[in-house]
């Protein structure tokens, strides 16, 4: 029995048969494979059994564009790194450029121009990362019907319960926080027939319109 165990251990850790020969990266749109592999730090020739997949995944997750990462073995000689990329949802003006942030307030990348269709975040909080206001705004935007979302030019989100949209044509929509989004959309759809320039649907039961 000991001989069998020793042989198995040698095959896994000491043999040149079961070592890393190939590395595969998936899900890494807009992020170079070479960058992911370099950060993962798994060298060719490393015994497959000795790879700390959790540590390698955590290293990859340190890349700003990466939301989550998993590292797995595909025997006999391949390591697979699967990444889920962050998706920018709001643009923040800064020093003549735009920081494109996701729902957690992380800067995914910088751009000289605001991408078409991406709302501008006005009055951003002092701390973007982890901001409840940013999280709420992105959550609400994702739930809006396309016909309404495409009208939005900018968003103000000082807190999770104080989200306001600026629409084309100088229209302001006070949304409040996440919750009752379907009722708010329905009420806003009716109110917008009045061609007013201010709508408060934070409480869809007592919605307010002006001008």
For 32-90, what is each residue's pLDDT tens digit?
999 999 999 999 999 999 999 999 999 999 999 999 999 999 999 999 999 999 999 99
Percent of the chain with pLDDT over 90: 87
Q: 125 pLDDT exceeds 80?
A: no
Going from N- to C-terminal start, the domains of the chain cover 18-85, 90-210
Q: What is the pLDDT of residue 15?
A: 55
The sign of the dihedral angle between the CA atoms of 117, 121, 127, 132 is: negative
Which of 86, 116, 82 is CA-nearest to residue 98? 116
Q: What is the pTM of this model?
A: 0.81
Q: What is the pLDDT of residue 3?
A: 42
Which of 72, 62, 7 is CA-nearest to residue 36? 62
For the ranges 11-20, 103-112, 119-128, the lowest mean pLDDT is seen at: 11-20
Q: What is the pLDDT of residue 14?
A: 53
90-210 fold: Rossmann fold (3.40.50)
Mean pLDDT of the chain: 92
Three-state helix/strand/coil letters over 97-160: EEEEECCCCCEEEEECCCCCCCCEEECCCCCCCCCHHHHHHHHHHHHCCHHHHCCEEEEEECCC
| pLDDT mean over 140-167 | 96
Q: What is the pLDDT of residue 160?
A: 95
At the top level of CATH, which class does the domain 18-85 belong to? alpha beta
Check if the beta carbon of residue 204 is closer than 8 Å to that of residue 186: yes
Q: What is the pLDDT of residue 16?
A: 66
Q: What is the pLDDT of residue 30?
A: 87
């Amino acid at each position: 029995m000991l001989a069998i165990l020793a042989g198995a251990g040698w095959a896994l850790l000491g043999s040149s048969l079961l070592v890393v020969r190939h590395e595969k990266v998936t899900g890494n749109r807009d992020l170079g494979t070479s960058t992911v592999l370099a950060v993962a730090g798994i060298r060719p020739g490393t015994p497959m059994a000795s790879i700390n997949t959790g540590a390698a995944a955590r290293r990859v997750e340190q890349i700003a564009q990466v939301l989550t990462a998993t590292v797995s073995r595909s025997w006999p000689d391949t390591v697979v790194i699967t990444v889920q990329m962050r998706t920018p949802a709001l643009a923040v003006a800064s020093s003549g450029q735009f920081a494109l942030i996701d729902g957690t307030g992380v800067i995914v990348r910088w751009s000289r121009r605001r991408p078409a269709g991406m709302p501008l975040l006005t009055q951003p909080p002092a701390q973007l990362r982890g901001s409840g206001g940013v999280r709420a705004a992105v959550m609400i935007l994702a739930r809006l019907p396309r016909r309404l979302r495409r009208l939005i030019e900018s968003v103000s989100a000082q807190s999770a319960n104080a989200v306001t949209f600026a629409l084309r044509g100088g229209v302001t929509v006070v949304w409040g926080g996440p919750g009752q989004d379907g009722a708010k959309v329905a009420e806003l759809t009716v109110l917008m027939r009045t061609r007013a320039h201010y709508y408060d649907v934070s409480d869809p039961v007592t919605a307010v319109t002006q001008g």
